[in-house]
Chains A and B, each alone.
Chain A
Amino acid sequence: MTEHVETQGISGEHYNFAYLDEQTKRMIRRAILKGIAIPGYQVPFAAREMPMPYGWGTGGVQVTAAVIGKDDCLKMIDQGSDDTTNAVALRNFFVETTGVDTTTKTKDASIIQTRHRIPEDTLTKDQVLVYQVPIPEPLRFLEPRETETRKMHALEEYGLMHVKLYEDIAKFGHIATAYAYPVMVQDRYVMDPSPTPKFDNPKMDQMERSSCLEQAAKSASMPSRHTPRW
C-alpha cells in the first residue's frame, strides 16, 4: 500500500499531498520513467479531472504533482512570466495542496513548470523542468488519425513533416514556423515542443536537467538528461 500524506491547505480544506491520489501519481511516474527510457516517444497516461479547465495546464499540473515532494521549491511560468494570471493560480494551487516553498528565481527552484519559455539561466542536473504542451504530436495537423500517426512514428515515416516545411517555403518564401517547431530526438522520434518559441529549442539540446513534456490525457514525452542530439 502506498502512503497517503494529507495536507491542510490555507483555506482549511484537507487534500492528499499534491491533490492527486498516490495510485495516480505512481501511474504518471511510470509513464515518465518510460518516457525517459525512450527519448522523444510519446507515452500516454490517463489524465484525471482537475479543478481547472482543459487547456489551462491540467496535464502539466499532473506531471508536477507526480514528481513534487515536501522539500521541493516550485517556480511557475506561463507566457514566459511568473506573474500572469494562470501562473499565479497554478502556483497557489500547489501552495494550497502541498505547502511547498515557491520562488520566482530560476536558481532557487527545484521544479519549474513552464508554458512557452525555457529559462535563460543554465539549469543544473538537480532541477526538473515540466513543460505544458498542448499538442505534442507534430504530425497532427497533417494527419488527424492517432492510429495512423502512431504507425508513422513506429516506422519512422517522417516524409510528411517535410510537406509542412515545403508549404512554408511555397507560401512565405522561408520556413515560417516560429513556435511548435518540430525536433528530432536522438535521430529517432520527431516530437513537438509547442508552444515553445523556435529560438528556445536549442536550449533543450544536451540539457543537464531532466524535463517532461506533457499533454493532458495524452502523453509524457521526454528529452531526458544529456540528450545526445536533437
Chain B
Amino acid sequence: MSLPIQSTEDLPLLQVSNTTKLYGGRIGCKDVSFDLYPGEVLAIVGESGSGKTTLLNCLATRLTPTSGSVNYRNRMGQMRNLYEMSEAERRMLMRTDWGFVHQHPADGLRMTVSAGANVGERLMAVGARHYGNIRDTATDWLGRVEIAEDRIDDDPRAFSGGMRQRLQIARNLVTGPRLVFMDEPTGGLDVSVQARLLDLLRGLVADLGLSVIIVTHDLAVARLLSHRILVMRHGHVIESGLTDQVLDDPQESYTQLLVSSILQP
C-alpha cells in the first residue's frame, strides 16, 4: 500500500535534532532540536553570549557541530543531512538555496567591487554570463531594496550603513533562496533606519514565502518579524513557542526578565 503523496509544503524544510557545539569544555549550544517549515520565520533570542550565533553557524554549515544532526529538504523533496553532503554540495546550497545576512555588511559584501557586481555575483556563480541580463536583474533588485538605480556602479564603501545592509539583503535574495539566515540584521542601525529595514524585510519575506532563521537580541525585532521564537540561555533553549504567546505570557523566569527589560518609551 502506498502512502498518499504529500505536498512538501506540509513537511519541514529544516530538521534540527540534538545539535550540540562544544568549545573544549565550554558549551556553545547544547541539545537544540526544532523543525522549520516552509514560509516560517523563526527568531532565536537571548542575551549576548547565550549561544545564538553559534547555533546559527551550526545550522548554516559555517561551523561543524560536535554532535547532533541538521537535515535539509532540497528542491527535489529529499531530506539530506548537511554534514553528510560533500563540500561542493554544501557550497552550492549556500549560493543558491540559502542566504546569509551578516550583522556587519562588510562581512557579507565584497567592498571593493560595485553594488551591481555584488548583486550579480551569485547569478554569475550559477552560470549567468549575459552582461545585460545580469545588470537588469541587479537594477531590479536594487529597486526592491530601495537603492537608487544610479548607485549601481558605486562601491559599497560609498554607502551608508543602512544602504549596505539593504544591498547585502538584495545580494542574498537574487537567486531566489528558500531559506535565509540572519544574524542581527538591524544591529548598529539607528531606529528610523531599523524601522524601514524591518518593514522592507517583512514585505520581502511575505512576498517571496521565505523561511527565515533570525538571530537577534532585540525582542521588538523578533515580535515584528517572526512567527515562532526560541529563547536561549547558557547554550540551552529554555523556552519556545509562538512569538506573541512567549512574549505576552513568558513562562520561564529568565524570559520574564528579558521581556520586562525592554525599555518603555
Query: Which A residues fall within an 8 A CB radius of B?
Result: 141-142, 151, 155, 157, 159-160, 162-164, 166-167, 169-171
Interface SS of chain B: helix, strand, loop or mixed? helix
Contact A166 B134 (CB under 8 A): yes
Q: Chain B residues with Cβ under 8 A from A155's Cβ?
A: 87-88, 91
- B65 CB-CB contact with A under 8 Å: no
Please, how many angstroms separate the alpha-carbon atoms of A186 and B125 in the complex? Answer: 20
Chain B 130-174: CB-based contact to A (< 8 A → 1; otherwise 0): 010011000000000000000011000000000000000000000
CB-based nearest B residue for A169: B131
- Partner of B114 from the list A142, A151, A160, A167 (CB cut-off 8 Å) is A167
Q: Chain B residues with Cβ under 8 A from A170's Cβ?
A: 114, 116-117, 135, 152-153
- Partner of A163 from the list B87, B88, B95, B120 (CB cut-off 8 Å) is B120
CB-based nearest A residue for B120: A166
Contact A159 B121 (CB under 8 A): yes
Given A159-B126, A166-B131, A170-B153, 4 extra CB contacts under 8 A: A151-B87, A157-B91, A163-B110, A163-B120
- Partner of A162 from the list B88, B124, B152, B153 (CB cut-off 8 Å) is B124
A-B pairs with beta carbons under 8 Å apart, 10 shown: A142-B112, A155-B88, A155-B91, A159-B121, A159-B125, A159-B126, A163-B113, A166-B120, A170-B116, A170-B152
Q: Chain A residues with Cβ under 8 A from B196's Cβ?
A: none
Contact A163 B91 (CB under 8 A): no
Q: How many contacting A-B pairs (Cβ < 8 A)?
A: 47
Chain B 105-123: CB-based contact to A (< 8 A → 1; otherwise 0): 0000010111011001110
Please, how many angstroms separate the alpha-carbon atoms of A159 and B120 in the complex? Answer: 10
CB-based nearest A residue for B125: A159
CB-based nearest B residue for A155: B88
CB-based nearest A residue for B88: A155
Q: How far is the CB of B20 from chain A (nearest CB, A)?
A: 26
Please, how many angstroms separate the alpha-carbon atoms of A167 and B88 in the complex? Answer: 26
Q: How far is the CB of A172 from chain B (nearest CB, A)?
A: 11
Q: Chain A residues with Cβ under 8 A from B202's Cβ?
A: none
- B129 CB-CB contact with A under 8 Å: yes
Please, how many angstroms separate the alpha-carbon atoms of A77 and B113 in the complex? Answer: 35
CB-based nearest B residue for A166: B117
Q: How far is the CB of B245 from chain A (nearest CB, A)?
A: 43
CB-based nearest A residue for B131: A169
Select the residue from B121, B122, B153 with max chain A CB neighbours within 10 A: B121
Q: Chain A residues with Cβ under 8 A from B88's Cβ?
A: 155
Contact B124 A159 (CB under 8 A): yes
Select the residue from A142, A157, A163, A167 with max chain B CB neighbours within 10 A: A163
Known A-B contacts A159-B121, A159-B126, A160-B121; A167 and B113 likewise in contact (beta carbons under 8 Å): yes
Q: Chain A residues with Cβ under 8 A from B126's Cβ?
A: 159
Select the residue from B88, B117, B125, B134 with max chain A CB neighbours within 10 A: B117
Q: Chain A residues with Cβ under 8 A from B125's Cβ?
A: 157, 159-160
Chain B residues 8-30 with CB under 8 Å of chain A are none
Known A-B contacts A159-B126, A162-B124, A163-B120; A171 and B87 likewise in contact (beta carbons under 8 Å): no
Known A-B contacts A155-B87, A155-B88, A166-B134; A142 and B124 likewise in contact (beta carbons under 8 Å): no
Please, how many angstroms separate the alpha-carbon atoms of A155 and B125 in the complex? Answer: 12
Contact B153 A171 (CB under 8 A): yes
Q: Chain A residues with Cβ under 8 A from B153's Cβ?
A: 170-171
Please, how many angstroms separate the alpha-carbon atoms of A218 and B231 in the complex? Answer: 49
CB-based nearest A residue for B153: A170
Chain B residues 166-186 with CB under 8 Å of chain A are none
Q: How far is the CB of B28 from chain A (nearest CB, A)?
A: 22
Q: How far is the CB of B117 from chain A (nearest CB, A)?
A: 5
Q: Chain B residues with Cβ under 8 A from A141's Cβ?
A: 112
Please, how many angstroms separate the alpha-carbon atoms of A167 and B112 in the complex? Answer: 10
Contact B116 A142 (CB under 8 A): no
Q: How far is the CB of A204 from chain B (nearest CB, A)?
A: 23
Please, how many angstroms separate the alpha-carbon atoms of A141 and B152 in the complex? Answer: 21
Q: Chain B residues with Cβ under 8 A from A167's Cβ?
A: 113-114, 117
CB-based nearest B residue for A159: B125
CB-based nearest A residue for B127: A159
CB-based nearest A residue for B126: A159
Contact A142 B120 (CB under 8 A): no
- Partner of B124 from the list A151, A166, A169 (CB cut-off 8 Å) is A166
**Ranked 8 nearest A-B pairs via Cβ:** A159-B125, A162-B124, A159-B124, A155-B88, A166-B117, A163-B117, A163-B121, A170-B153
Q: How far is the CB of A137 from chain B (nearest CB, A)?
A: 16
Q: Chain A residues with Cβ under 8 A from B129's Cβ?
A: 162
